[in-house]
Amino acid sequence: MSSVQSVAPARPNFLKMLLGSPILGPVAALLMASIFFAVMSPRFLSGPNFSLILQQVMVVGVLAIGQTLVIITTGIDLSNGMVMALSGVLMASFAAQKGLNPLLAVLLSLVVAMAFGLLNGGLVTGIGLPAFIVTLGTMNIAYALTRIYTTSTITNLPRELTFLGETFNIGGTAIANGTVLMLGLYVITWFVLKYTPAGRSVYAVGDNIEAARLAGINTKRVLLGVYTFAGLSYGIAALLQVARTGVGDPQAGQTSNLDSITAVVLGGTSLFGGRGSIVGTLIGALIVGVFRNGLQLLGVESTYQVLITGVLVIAAVSVDQLTHRK
């Protein structure tokens, strides 16, 4: 340490890390929103309410994991809500109506969701279609398949399918199993993006796919992997959706695609690709959750909640644009 020349390994300095971090904006927004609602409503700042917020965001939160990866590679996925609905209806029906082993039913529906992801990825890489068009198509296909399969809600689900909606207690606060699963998925995705070559490839492909290929990255495999993994996350979201509502609902997920994009964008991920953070997406999902919950506590109608979410997205992207401009 005596030599001026030596480059000391950077000490982990939390404040410095946060200041230079791309998630600074989202974190600040989340804190400010939380403080605002804590001041406005005495019921906001409590364990049970936070647990509720987590439960309210867990479905969109998990959908947004796949969406984040897709968006980092300059794609977009409009199909995720409909794929989730199809997957949810299938798992509910297989287990409750067809008498399949519930775990097998879940597994089969996850495979269906992944197959949709693979199809999206295959069309994007194989034919080179824009992700927007491909997923617009598969969104309609998944929607139609769901309605062809059933138009009625599937009830009387076995306990295995609702387990993730159940709660356990920590210090008097009931926490849903599903929220733990969601947080676990975020940790895994964060780790993969930061600490594995595969994670690096995702960013490389998003920055410049041709340069990535010429740097030795198998770009087709990366894209197929990203879309298939995204499909898996939609299948898991279906599991959470079914568990939370206790039914297989063919009407589920109607606005989930846009909700998940909202979370990703609020989390600071660029729609132009190459730049983005999975932690940011979690925070983005929480920002939406905190606003909806807080406004609800203040007695604001749900239509106005949607309106405010819209304003929020535009404001967040504007701030992002202005701060990234030279």
Partner 1 sequence: MTTQTAGRVLLEMKGIGKSFPGVKALEGVNLSIREGQVHALLGENGAGKSTLIKILSGAYTRDEGEIFFDGQLADIKAPADAEHLGISTIYQEFNLAPNMTIAENIFLGHLPTKAGTIDWATVKKRSRELLDSLEVDLSVDALTGSLSVAQQQMVEIAKALNRNTRILVMDEPSAVLSERDIENLFAVVRRLQASGIGIIYISHRLREIFELADEVTVLKDGRYVDTKQVADVNMEQLVNLMIGRDLEDVYPKRHGEPGEVVLEVSHLAQAHLAKDVSFQLRACEIVGFAGITGSGRTEVARVIFGADKPTAGEMKLYGKPFRPRSPRDAINQGVALVTEDRKRQGLLLKLQVYFNTTVSGLDRLTSFGVLRLQDEMTLVQQWIKNLRIKTPSPEFMVVNMSGGNQQKVILARWLSLGIKVFIMDEPTRGIDVGSKSEIYQTMADLAEQGVAIIMISSELPEVLGMSDRVMVMREGRMVKELSRAEASEEEIMLYAVGHEEVAS
Applying CB under 8 A, the residues found at the interface with partner 1 are 7, 9, 195-197, 200, 203-204, 207-208, 210-218, 274-275, 326
By beta-carbon proximity to partner 1, the closer residue of 104 and 211 is 211
Secondary structure of the chain: what % helix, strand, coil (to 5)? 70, 5, 25
The strand pairing partners of 173, in sequence order, are 170
Report d(CA 315, CA 284) in Å as an integer: 13
Cβ of residue 267: shortest distance to partner 1, in angstroms?
18
By beta-carbon proximity to partner 1, the closer residue of 15 and 210 is 210
Give the angle 53-55-57 at the CA atoms, nearest 5°.
Answer: 70
By beta-carbon proximity to partner 1, the closer residue of 160 and 207 is 207
Per-residue tokens: 75: 């794609």
Report d(CA 17, CA 266) in Å as an integer: 20
Query: Which class for 12: exposed (0-12), middle (13-18), buried (19 or more C-beta within 10 A)?
Result: exposed
Per-residue tokens: 112: 């269906």
Report d(CA 108, CA 90) in Å as an integer: 8
The strand pairing partners of 176, in sequence order, are 167
Cβ of residue 242: shortest distance to partner 1, in angstroms?
32
Query: Which class for 321: exposed (0-12), middle (13-18), buried (19 or more C-beta within 10 A)?
Result: exposed
Cβ of residue 220: shortest distance to partner 1, in angstroms?
10
Per-residue tokens: 142: 């998944």
Q: Which residue has the tokens 């920590």?
A: 170
By beta-carbon proximity to partner 1, the closer residue of 204 and 313 is 204
By beta-carbon proximity to partner 1, the closer residue of 69 and 204 is 204
Report d(CA 77, CA 235) in Å as an integer: 14
Cβ of residue 202: shortest distance to partner 1, in angstroms?
11
The H or E element that residue 176 is part of is strand 173-176
By beta-carbon proximity to partner 1, the closer residue of 13 and 218 is 218
By beta-carbon proximity to partner 1, the closer residue of 200 and 244 is 200
Q: Buried b / exposed e across 239-258, counting CB within 10 Å, b at 16+?
A: bbbbbbbebbbbebbeebbe
Cβ of residue 74: shortest distance to partner 1, in angstroms?
11
By beta-carbon proximity to partner 1, the closer residue of 171 and 216 is 216
Cβ of residue 122: shortest distance to partner 1, in angstroms?
19
Cβ of residue 218: shortest distance to partner 1, in angstroms?
6
Cβ of residue 200: shortest distance to partner 1, in angstroms?
6
